[in-house]
Structure 1
Amino acid sequence: MPTLRLVGRPFEGFENALQRQMDSFAATADADVTFERDHRPLPEIHEELLATGDITDGTYDLFLCLSDWLPMVAEAGYVHSLDDRLADSPPDDWPDGWAESLRGLMTYEGIAYGVPYHDGPEIFHYREDLFESVAEQRAFREEYGRPLSVPRTWDEFLEVAEFFTRPDEDLWGTVVAAKPDGHNDVYDFCIHLWSRGGRLLDEDGRPAFDSPEGREALRYYHDLIHEHEVVPPESIEMESVETGQFYADGEAAMMWNWSGFGAMAEDPESAVFGRTNYGLIPRAEAPAGEHTSLTVCYGLTVPKGSEHPDLAYDFVRHAASAENDEITTLEGASGTRFSTWRDPEILRTNSFYSIVEEVNTGPVNTLPRIPAYLELNEILNEMVEAVVVERSISVEDGLAAAAERASDLLE
């Protein structure tokens, strides 16, 4: 009996959904099959499987691959092209059942290497009950001389975050995932950079983030934690899932974060069940400022070295069905199909999907689609760590050093 082994990051939504999808596949597969799941932290997957090439040693048949990594693993030949299989035996509704932006994240140089499984994008989450409270509205107007409203700019965001920061009540203005794991800490810097009109790379692929916009972005992120103190001190040790839970536990008034964490907030057992709403991420109050988002996704890929690549693809196709994509959502992750985003029952319990489709089908930022992105990401990760977590270097020096290293990398 063949065994399919999957590796991916730990997340309860992934783990529960994959288990259900694997169980249903095993019950219907022509050949008997068993599954094993190996859930490892992202840095461990990168260091032990991707940097070494061991993802292809035959241990794994399925890899839940972060889209940041897709160009590198494709260029290195670590995963199979799925073009022929998608042409001969595609999932139902392929390709038009998925947003082009998501399909593109699983493609490199025109070749598809994965099928989207779990989607961002990042959106704004806020406690609607706090914003609608007459007592809070009155107190805010008395303190700031303007109505309490959902912030549209980062200046407004800071005022509102300061107002709602009440550690003695276990309430903070916001929460960020600044743990130096190369994930949200880097994405947060990018969002602040883009929302100020800055860019990571210029049109010629050279580093462009050591700029006035970059300095404003990194300083703002640093100051939220250390100067304004509107986030819990433990934010420098928190990764994205932990911040989503922190918000769902009712301990933050606002956050920008992955849309899928709306599922945590809208769980009936959540402390903020029925009290959350969603919107656009704030922008800089400047001519170049824009509401922006970042989208990444996780896709199911088939590593080279797998002894059962055809069977592994059969599972990929199975997990991509409309029914199983809804299971991904119902178990706390984020489905990727239009059919899930538009399903009335899903929308009743996961209202953030209306924002998800708007963001994914409009202008949305993605990280550079280059094989060297993993190394660039680590440079940015170390920059944020040094400036924001360790506070061992200034904003200006951190950006300059990172830009110099990035230039050497990308030459």
Structure 2
Amino acid sequence: MEKIRIAVRKFDPFETTLQKLWDLFCLQNNIQIEAEMVPLELHELYETTITKKGLKEGKWDIAHLNTDWIYDAVHEKAVLDLYSFIASNPPENYPYGWHKSLLKLQQLDNGTYGLPFHDGPECLIYRKDLFEDQNEQKNFKKQYGYELSTPKTWKEFMEIASFFNRPEENLYGCIFANYPDGHNMVFDFCLQLWTRGGSLINHKNQISVYSKAAIEALDFYRKMVNDSTAVHPKSKQFDSVQAGLAFAKGEAAMAINWFGFASMAQVIEESKVKGKIDITSLPSDPNHKTASLNVYWLYTIGSGSKYKKLAYDFLRFATTSESDKLLTKEGGIGCRKSTWKDEEINALIPFYHKLEMLHENAFTLPQTPIWPKVCEFIDHMILKAINSDITSAQLLEETQNNIQKIE
């Protein structure tokens, strides 16, 4: 029996959507080939597709890759350039159906190496029922001397998190995802840096993490995540998915996480906060602007696949406006503008239309062959910061020296 093999990012909404889409695709096109879909955690997914050359050698026909990895995938010749397929048979309303920020990162070396399928920049997710409660508002004003509203500065964020921290009710001020997987803590650090006017790139276009803004960012972050009077006690064990689930179970007043987890909390069965959540942009330091981070997921085709044409036909099918909407209803985040504005989706997830606003403030990570290694260094640095008394300045300086050695 012939099989097409798909490496899937392990996440229930991705798995259920993909199975439904493949079944529909086969039915509509009278295709008899079976799809073997293997759900994988982040590390396993990167390793099997890129490090172990699974895409290049034809072990995988289609893979979910995120935009952090696409530079590596292209330079390892692991993924197929879709340019000629797109030119002769473009996806529905391509490229106008997507926001420009979802088409940039897969465009490399004059090629197009994937189609966007899941997104949702970083944002502040919060319990609007708590923020809108008159008693809470009264008590907050009495305690802090200003009106309770979504935090505009990091100082306000800290105070609001302390105010809502009620362990006896299994409610905590905020949740972080501090599991050291090279992702969320790195992203959190970048967001702290950008909202203080800092940058990851210096004037010579090199990666630079040692600056005044970086010291302030790391100082605040390490203090915040260690604040047991404000933060969910399991944050250090949570990756982003687990942090998202804890929020959906009603265990926190605020979370800084991907937009997708706000939308998930609105649709999954086990959510206890349906209808009680909203999203807004992140706080920033006074005199600096808010920021978001845009890392998104792509459908890619393995350069060694025997089924390139079939795989591309499926990708076209899986990224139609109808398929995009299905992914959203299953708990993922559609990438098309049509889904963001869809009335049915906005009735289900009332803050869905805000995606456009987040994209307007979204930064992206540097596209450079050393970025995965830099990620490891930053992850390691934050872990050290959280678990030791070494000064932030010293940790950042060490990290910068490590980065310079590989540049």
Place the TM-score, normalised by the shorter chain, in its bin. over 0.9
The aligned length equals 406
The two structures, once aligned, show a CA RMSD in angstroms of 1.6
Q: 1:379 to 1:327 in 2, by over 3 A?
A: same
**Could you tell me how far apart the structure 2 residues matched to 1:182 and 1:15 are?**
23
- Determine what percentage of the aligned residue pairs are the same residue: 36
Q: Residue 104 of structure 1: SS of its match in structure 2?
A: coil
In structure 1, how many angstroms separate the alpha carbons of the residues matched to 2:198 and 2:228? 24
Are the counterparts in 2 of residues 141 and 147 from structure 1 also a CA contact under 8 Å? yes
**Which residue type is aligned with residue 299 of structure 2?**
L
Letter in 2 for 1:332: G
Q: Could you say which residue in structure 1 is the equivalent of 2:353? A: 354
Corresponding position of 1:64: 64
Match of 1:377 in 2: 375
Change (3 A) 1:257 1:133: same
- Could you say which residue in structure 2 is the equivalent of 1:278? 279
Q: Within 2, Cα distance between the matches of 1:148 and 1:122?
A: 22
Between 96-105 and 106-115, the greater mean CA deviation after superposition: 106-115
- Return 174-183 or 261-270, whichever deviates more: 261-270
Could you say which residue in structure 2 is the equivalent of 1:216? 216
Q: What's 2:302 paired with?
A: 303
1:398 aligned residue:
395
1:253 aligns with 2:253: yes
- Normalised to the residue count of structure 1, the TM-score between the two structures is 0.95
1:5-404 to 2 correspondences below 5 Å? 5-227=5-227, 229-267=229-267, 269=269, 270-285=271-286, 287=287, 289-360=288-359, 362-388=360-386, 390-391=387-388, 393-404=390-401
Distance 1:67 1:225, change over 3 A: same
Partner-residue secondary structure (3-state), 1:68? coil
- 1:190-229 per-residue CA deviation (whole Å, 9 max, x = no partner) reads 1111000111112422232211111111121211121454
Conservation of the 8 A alpha-carbon contact between 2:153 and 2:285:
yes
**Contact 1:72 1:373 (C-alpha < 8 Å) held by counterparts:** no
Structure 1 residues 97-106 or 392-401, which shifts more?
A: 392-401
The DSSP-based 3-state class of the residue aligned with 1:375 is helix
User: Structure 1 residues 351 and 106 mapped into 2: Cα distance closer, same or farther (>3 Å)?
Assistant: farther
- Report the Cα distance in structure 2 between the residues aligned to 1:60 and 1:20, rounded to whole angstroms: 20
Contact 1:244 1:261 in 2 (8 A): yes
Per the alignment, in what secondary structure is the counterpart of residue 267 of structure 2?
coil
Counterpart Cα distance in 2 of 1:118 and 1:366: 16
Question: 1:140 touches 1:147 (CA, 8 Å); kept in 2?
Answer: yes
Displacement of 1:313 after TM fit?
Answer: 0.9
Secondary structure of 2:365's aligned partner: coil
Contact 1:223 1:229 in 2 (8 A): no
Task: Kindly indicate whether the alpha-carbon contact (under 8 Å) linking 1:177 and 1:240 is maintained by their aligned counterparts in 2.
Answer: yes
Secondary structure of 1:148's counterpart equals coil
Higher mean alpha-carbon deviation, 240-249 vs 204-213, is at 204-213
**TM-score (normalizing by structure 2):** 0.96
Structure 1 residues 19-70: Cα deviation after superposition (integer angstroms, max 9, x where no partner): 1111111212344221011111112223444233343222100010110001
Q: In structure 2, what residue type is equivalent to 1:290?
A: K
Letter of the 1:279 counterpart: T
CA distance in 2, matches of 1:217, 1:74: 32
Of 292-301 and 400-409, more deviation after overlay is shown by: 400-409
Structure 1 distance, partners of 2:10, 2:57, is: 21
Distance in 2 between residues matched to 1:84 and 1:393, nearest whole Å = 53
Counterpart contact for 1:72–1:371, Cα < 8 Å: yes
The answer (yes or no) to whether the contact 2:295–2:364 under 8 Å persists in 1 is yes
Q: Write the letter of the residue equivalent to 1:405.
A: N
